[in-house]
């Protein structure tokens, strides 16, 4: 588990509101096809950025329930959404949602399923809380699609292997069609979206991952601090030299409750 100091938290906040992560959030937002009056479950709402955007879209006649098991995440989400009386930020997990059967019109989970030990249980819960015809949208990382240039291929391999420990299921998109159909969903969709950079922008996904991956590898004993610092510094050097390259694909997945 990563523990963020103030400086890292500020960097993450910059990334969350930056162009790349906003684009990733927009993938989910657009796929929900929101209408005024919709009731929406934001599963794993985190700091509430998507929750807030949904609240604006569904209007005062709609409702948004932001669900997250982390008090550290619910606190900023509650502050962010305080101006919206149609939003509730509540404690809950993906496999035990605090909603009634058929209560929601839409459900969304952004970068949630890849961290779950029981994805079928979470999909079954989304199916339970949705009305017939309700839409479930998820966005998850194509964990095996990360292509990141380094002149030290062996060290880069160790960084990637260390990062592999931070998620549970790297193949969410590949499993999605079977899992959602087994749960009773139809109209199944999977769409890739690739983020590819040759610059290292402070608000970009590459920069965010550079900080997270280097800290994770060192703090969890997968690599030494000197190794991760060398990788971190190399990436900045490559960027200054105009030789930086980073590519990662996310998958937007959708299904309708039949």
Please determine, for residue 5, whether its predicted confidence score (pLDDT) is greater than 80.
no
Backbone angles phi and psi of 77, in degrees to 5 = -65, -40
DSSP state of 111: S
Please determine, for residue 216, whether its predicted confidence score (pLDDT) is greater than 70.
yes
Query: For residues 67 and 43, is the Cβ–Cβ distance under 8 A?
Result: yes
Mean pLDDT of the chain: 94
Confidence class of residue 82 from pLDDT cuts 50, 70 and 90? very high
pLDDT tens, residue by residue, 235-253: 999 999 999 999 999 999 9
pLDDT tens, residue by residue, 20-65: 999 999 999 999 999 999 999 999 999 899 999 999 999 999 999 9
Q: Which residues contact 150 (CB under 8 A, 6 or more apart)?
A: 156, 231, 234, 235, 238
pLDDT at 2: 52
Confidence class of residue 17 from pLDDT cuts 50, 70 and 90? confident
Give just the sign of the alpha carbon dihedral 53, 54, 60, 63. negative
Structural domains for the chain: 6-257 (3.40.50.150)
């Amino acid at each position: 588990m990563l523990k963020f100091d103030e400086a890292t938290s500020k960097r993450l906040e910059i990334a969350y509101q930056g162009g790349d992560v906003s684009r990733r959030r927009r993938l989910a937002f657009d796929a929900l096809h929101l209408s005024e009056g919709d009731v929406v479950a934001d599963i794993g709402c985190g700091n509430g950025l998507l929750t807030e955007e949904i609240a604006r879209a569904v209007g005062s006649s709609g409702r948004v329930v932001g669900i997250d098991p982390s008090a550290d995440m619910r606190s900023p989400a509650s502050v962010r959404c305080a101006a919206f009386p149609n939003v509730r930020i509540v404690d809950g997990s993906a496999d035990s949602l605090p909603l009634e059967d058929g209560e929601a019109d839409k459900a969304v989970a952004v970068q949630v399923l890849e961290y779950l030990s029981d994805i079928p249980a979470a999909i079954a819960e989304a199916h339970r809380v949705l009305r017939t015809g309700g839409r479930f949208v998820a966005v998850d990382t194509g964990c095996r699609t990360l292509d990141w240039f380094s002149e030290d291929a062996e060290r880069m391999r160790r960084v990637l292997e260390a990062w592999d420990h931070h998620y549970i299921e790297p193949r969410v998109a590949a499993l999605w069609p079977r899992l959602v159909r087994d749960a009773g969903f139809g109209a199944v969709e999977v769409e890739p979206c690739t983020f590819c950079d040759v610059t290292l922008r402070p608000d970009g996904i590459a920069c965010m991952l550079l900080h997270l991956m280097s800290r994770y590898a060192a703090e969890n004993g997968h690599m030494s601090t000197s190794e991760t610092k060398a990788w971190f510094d190399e990436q900045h050097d490559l960027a200054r030299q105009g030789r930086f390259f980073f590519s990662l694909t996310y998958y937007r997945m959708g299904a309708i409750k039949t």
